[in-house]
Amino acid sequence: MSNTIENEDIFQSHFLAEKTTDEPLIRVMALHSLAYCERLFYLEEVEEIRVADANVYAGRRLHEELDKGSKKYTLELASQELGIRGKVDYVRTDAGELIIYEHKKGRSNKGQQAWPSDRLQATAYGLLVSEHFDRQVKELRIRYHADNKTIIIPFDLDKAKGEVLKAVKRARELRSLLKRPPVNVPEKLCRTCSLAPVCLPEEERFAEEEKEKPLRLFPAEDERRVIHVLEQGASIHRDGYQLIISLPEGEKKSVPGASVASLVLHGNIQISTQAIHFCAANDIGIHWLSYGGHYVGVFARGAGYVQRRHRQYEALHNPFFKVLLVARLCQAKVENQLKYILRLARAKRSHPIQNQDALQASINAIRHEIKALARIEKSLSNADNEDITQYDKVIGEMRGHEGRAGREYFKTLACILNLAEDNFLYFDGRNRRPPKDPFNALLSFGYALLYKDCVAAIQAVGLDPCFGFFHTPRSSAYPLALDLMELFRVILWDMPLVASVNRKQWRKQDFEITGQQVWLNKEGRKKAIILYENRKKEKWKHPVLKYSLSYARTIELEARLLEKEWTGTPGLFARLRVR
């Protein structure tokens, strides 16, 4: 007859203190990840990336249900000899011998076997219990709740020790690497992996031309919200798992922390230390903008990202690699500008443009710059690292083409908007720092919102925003965030802004004028934020990957594809184009 061990003297909550060693102990759950996929182990244990998806939460609920109504003590064990530590689910005795129980929410392997990763996990627990109590473990039992199967595995101490020590050795080898292991598991394992949105295994298979179209494992949209706080004098504090926004007139609004992706604080907004700690623990970004819309800074967690940033520094210190990225980025930006201008010009056929000759001249000038950039990229694709000795000169040349195309682009916008000089939104070219007219104030504010999202995406990926490849560090702005912005200026702000101007959605009362400086006031900022956030929610079909996702998710996807250029399979970054 089996009895649950309930001796409080033995099963009191405790943890065996680790001795100071050069090699930290490996978590038993990490061995489970190792047996499932070496890249999964590396992402979780080395880079410390953990994502709790629906499957993870379902597993947690299962264990909570099992714990209800039972007298159970947490048993955490560690072994210096084995090099592992872990928390055992259940242990029972049968005729003086121990039986290890492990519960899984999923299905067994064909109803007859345990999955290799589950077997290794249970085996490691068996060794820990056997060593700690100096008693024989009879067998391991893994309960699969989805198909109501219990798989019984006889426990052989010597064989078990050999399996675990081999896995621990491999885990330590992976821990010492800066480079991520390749994707080398069957596709079906990737479909149920919580870290697929970080790993992007299907995109790697697609880049290697194994598939015509990748299966989208990257979430199509972020269900969490970006909260903008505009009321001057408002404050934010934490109440349990809620964020409470207190407005100056006394009104309070509560927001569930689980539904918040980031907080954007415009101007004089206070946030408590407790709220900041809550945001840090729940990956909620905090961004500060000045009252006039200038990006001030971001709160970022201080730990982690070591391996990712080492790889980034190593890659972007390679001049030839930087030149290739610059060529691709410049082409993407200028081609998107041209496609959008041509689309606007076609839409205006029923309403003749007064400056048609100037418009056509600017379009021809942009085409000329695209051809020049294409020639540079072609020459780079046929070269190797040793063929290019003056990298800075080549990058400077591409910056020149991109800059000239940008000036012509804004000239064409002025022609197509075709506003009278007495119109308060009259636009005759780009100006900034500070903007001197309402249209440029709108451009600058929207770009500040976009910059904020690019910083957030770079942080989510774990890259260093200070270290880019196209923009030089000449101001307080993050170069890598400015680089990423170039892909989205037209798509995420220019297009919806011009459409809103054509619909006459803006009023002169939406702006504040101080001398030669023009700013959006509170109502104007509200309009711009709604316009921008609604644009981010729109879905589109990626022209290369061929799957649909929101524009908000596309920003993070491009940041992850950029990292793929030096970690994984290159070739997919900066391929998106305006249709």
Q: 194: which 2 tokens?
A: 């919580």
Q: Which residues contact 242 (CB under 8 A, 6 or more apart)?
A: 254, 255, 256, 257
Cβ contacts of 199-205, under 8 Å, gap ≥ 24: 199/39, 199/40, 199/43, 200/560, 200/561, 200/564, 200/568, 201/39, 203/545, 203/561, 203/564, 203/569, 203/572, 204/564, 204/568, 204/569
Tell me the residue ranges of DSSP E strands in 155-272: 225-229, 235-239, 242-246, 252-256, 260-266, 270-271
pLDDT score of 55:
53
pLDDT score of 348:
65
Contact by Cβ (8 Å): 292, 435: no
pLDDT score of 314:
93
Contact by Cβ (8 Å): 373, 334: yes
Shortest CA distance to 99 belongs to which of 141, 144, 128? 141
Contact by Cβ (8 Å): 395, 401: no
pLDDT score of 546:
86
- Whether residue 154 has a cis bond before it, omega within 30° of 0: no
Q: Position 489: which residue type?
A: R
Taken in order 259, 308, 465, 398, the sign of the CA dihedral is negative
Tens of each residue's pLDDT in the chain, 579 residues: 344 444 433 333 344 434 435 678 999 999 999 999 999 999 999 888 876 544 554 544 544 455 444 444 457 889 999 999 998 877 887 777 788 888 888 888 887 889 999 999 999 999 999 888 888 888 888 888 888 888 898 989 999 999 999 999 999 999 988 888 988 888 888 888 888 888 888 888 888 776 677 778 887 887 888 999 988 999 999 998 899 999 988 899 999 988 888 899 998 999 999 999 988 888 888 999 888 778 888 887 765 678 889 999 999 998 888 988 999 999 999 899 888 888 887 776 655 666 677 777 878 888 888 888 888 777 777 766 666 667 788 888 888 888 888 888 888 888 778 777 888 888 888 887 788 889 999 999 999 999 999 999 998 898 999 999 998 887 778 999 999 999 999 999 999 999 999 888 999 999 988 777 888 988 999 999 999 999 999 998 888 888 899 999 999 999 999 999 998 788 889 998 887
The CA-based angle 573-566-297, given to 5 degrees, is: 70
Q: 32: which 2 tokens?
A: 């489970």
User: Residue 452 CA to chain centroid, in angstroms?
Assistant: 14
pTM for the model: 0.82
Across the beta sheet with 285-289, the strand order is: 225-229, 260-266, 285-289, 295-299
Q: How many CB atoms lie within 10 A of CB 260?
A: 20
pLDDT score of 270:
94
Backbone angles phi, psi at 90, to 5 degrees: -140, 145
Contact by Cβ (8 Å): 167, 127: no
pLDDT score of 363:
80
Q: Which residues contact 166 (CB under 8 A, 6 or more apart)?
A: none
pLDDT score of 71:
44
Return the SS3 of 203: helix
Q: 40: which 2 tokens?
A: 């999964």
pLDDT score of 70:
46
- Give the count of alpha carbons within 13 A of 189, CB side only: 17
Length of the chain counted residue by residue: 579
pLDDT score of 383:
66
β 548-550/539-541 pair status: antiparallel
The strand pairing partners of 228, in sequence order, are 264
